[in-house]
Each structure stands twice: as C-alpha cells, then as structure tokens.
C-alpha cells in the first residue's frame, strides 16, 4: 500500500485498503468512502462510471494503474 493514499474502508464491499475511491462528504461533516468500481457498480455513480468505463473491469491496484497511466506521479 502506498503512503500517498490513506487506508480507508469501502462501505460497499467492506474491504480496507488504499485502492482508488470516491469519498463523499455528508452534511453532518462525516464522510463515507466507496471504491470507485464498487460505487459505479452499486449505485451507478456517474463520476465513478466515467472513470471505470475504459478500465475493462480493473479493480484495486490495476484500476489505479489504469487511472494514473500517463501521469507524472
């Protein structure tokens, strides 16, 4: 796991890791965290669906590699 990405638990699948995720901030000041692929699949989130559209089913570190290919980081 990377030091650049904090470890969080996905409310969709319950897995705790540093994989790509969508963090949603609630009016209460709390946040909930979904893996991007879990959120796209479970809720049809437009943001997550767009990000996974060309990922060919990649999850976890493979999804991160897909999303960051071509980046300088």
Prediction pTM value:
0.84
Q: What does the domain layout of the chain look like in residue ranges?
A: 8-65
Query: Which two three-digit tokens encode residue 19?
Result: 């994989």
**End-to-end alpha carbon distance in the chain:** 15
Per run of 10 residues, the mean pLDDT along the chain (length 73 residues) is 80 96 96 96 96 93 90 57
Which helix or strand (DSSP H or E) is residue 24 part of?
Answer: strand 21-25
Residue 21 — φ and ψ, nearest 5°?
A: -150, 165
């Amino acid at each position: 796991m990377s030091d650049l990405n904090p470890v969080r638990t996905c409310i969709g699948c319950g897995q705790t890791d540093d994989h790509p995720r969508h963090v949603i901030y609630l009016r209460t000041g709390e946040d909930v965290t979904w893996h991007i692929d879990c959120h796209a699949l479970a809720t049809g989130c437009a943001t997550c669906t767009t990000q996974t559209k060309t990922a060919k089913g990649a999850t976890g570190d493979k999804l991160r590699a897909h999303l960051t290919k071509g980046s300088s980081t």
